[in-house]
Structure 1
Amino acid sequence: MKKAWIIVVAASQLILSGCWDQRILKESRLVFGTGMDLIEDDRLLVTSVIRDYSNNVPINAIVTGEGRTFRETRMDMDRKIAGRFDPSKNRVFLFGEKLVQKDLYSFLDVVYRDPDASVSSKLAVVKGNAGDVLNAGRVQNVLIAEYLIKLIESEEKETTIPEQSLQTICSVLFDDGKDFGLPAIKREGDEIILDGMAMFNRHTLAGYLSPDETVLLQMLLNKKAKIARYVSKINENQEPANKNYISYTFLKSKAKMKILSAQPGRMRAEITMKAEINVAEYPQDTLTKEKTKKQLNRKISKELTEDAERVISKIQEANSDLFGIARELMAYYPDRWDKVEWKKEYPSMEIVPKVEVEITEYGVIN
């Protein structure tokens, strides 16, 4: 019986077709970066960076496609290149400012439906046209797609931009209880600069936060990365001017949001944060005094609370619920939630931040 079974299995190898749906790498043109822009008549212009080689040196081949849909632009690009257009290795998507003022998801729909799409691809909004950034070719002698990835990943570790990818924003795109932000990029001459965060109201661009504002927001959201640096103004009219400021790094921190009132028309929330900091620069150099330390704790806490108020005001003005207050209301106050027109209520509700810091480290000197 065993021998008969072996004969059957061996014979079946002669008639089985094996893996027919194969993709041969040498026949593919691999895409490493993609930029989407909206042009006249609401047509889509897509710019793709394809890895190529000249004398065994890697170079960028830039190809563009135009169409009414993202899929149509891919078909257009496929007709312009030798080999098969293959976006499976795409590592970064850039969205032009005009495009994200429309419905972002409508342009990502084809990507989420594609089984070969890389869901780990990074995302960013360009202040201007996405194509202009990719057409830079090289920045600091690094190919543009690699440069953008390194730039985004390094700033994620500095807490100056949110850590986002195709995968992380997917669930939020379909979540009525929370909005999201993406890194913002701009091009100035030959330089490509990360410039804070683009805020979204549902699927539409609603405004921007600066890098400093993004750091503070990330701290209030309990999303501190490996490093989080900040500068606070603690004095007025000191000479030289750097004596008016203190630079520090956040160490341990914990933030918490609490709904104080869920009554429609009188909604109120509180966001508290406690943090320990390490002083990186303090030109007045009197940190050995306990009195000075307590004064600085109070001044920095006050300054951070005021900064948090301005950030929250900016977020509310953009009608971008980055704290997910709506999600909390849905979960814990469903009867009140059913009576609320959230996007009308949210911009005017009271959100009170309270920040307390304590200096626990001073660098290598006191």
Structure 2
Amino acid sequence: MLVDRGYQTTTTEGTGALQLLPPPTGLAPLSARGDGPVFYEILAPEDGIWEIGQGIVTGNQLERVTVLSNSNGTTGLINLPAGEKLVFSVLPASRAVYVDDSGALAGADLVTPVPRTRRVDTGAGLTGGGSLDADRTLSVDIAGTPTAADTTGSTRLLVHDTAENALRAVTRDTLLADRVPDSRRVIAGGLVTGGGALDGDVTVTVTEATAAEMTAGTAAASVATPRRVKGAIDARLATTAEMVAGTSTTRLATPAGVKAAVDAGNMVIAVFSTASGDRMLGISSVVRQTPLDILRIRATFVTPQSSTDYIVQVSISSPGYVTSQVQRQTNWLEITFGVPGSDSPVITLPAAVITVFG
């Protein structure tokens, strides 16, 4: 807003709003055209200070809002000194529009205008437009939009065809051909629970059997997973103490469990046979003693025994042979076999398996 002959003075100091004094006779206050925005210039001639900007005038008060230029070469508020300052209503050069020598509009911030005869015309799919001598409205012409070959029917929807980057009118049935209604349901059956209509996210669940259900073996609505099967088997395995006791009728025995029970019970000290090359448990060597007309073998223990109170059991598969004598030592044992009625100078060893118990 500009005010003809707008001129007042102020003694306000600092950077705040100005309190304006009444204008001299014949001049007008900056609020002569009412309260509102106004261009102003503040001048302190004796101090060489000035400020040009836009503010809000309310009665005899001027709020400095936007500084366009000042004597400091910035767009900041001038810190006004003491004393009387002159306040004018001015038109800043940066806001002025004028006709230059060629008759054209000019100005520092002027946007080049276009003639009223300039037109906005519409193409396919649009209606409206026209020259800029009036407001114009553009509308989408659905009926005129190119359609697919199967867009028959009275109900059509306008969609964006991303392949052709164009609007297309298609029937609702065509648009939904590869979709299902949200009333369609996912129904759980058997061991599956959950499900529901597709108007929201649907979750289906398979319930894992608990350890107690696996042990009981009666549940029909839960699933046995590998970890639950393993847990159920582990729960059935006999402990070493149960294996040693040998009384449980509901526990399972594994090879490792049997070995652990044997080791824990210290029942078997050694097992070996008279056949060469057979595996020997707890025995380092089996040697036939001389003379050859006597059937005597010596077996040496891998680990010496604490006493000679161990038990030796001989199982002979060759007929006619008997065990006639067993000599026990802590480091070895000797077994003598007898063949009644034999007078052969060289007697062959029988096929025998010997087990030593602690």
For normalisation by structure 2, the TM-score amounts to 0.19
Greater relative contact order structure (CA < 8 Å, 6+ sep): 1
Larger Rg, first or second structure (1 or 2): 2
For normalisation by structure 1, the TM-score amounts to 0.18
User: Larger helix proportion, structure 1 or 2?
Assistant: 1
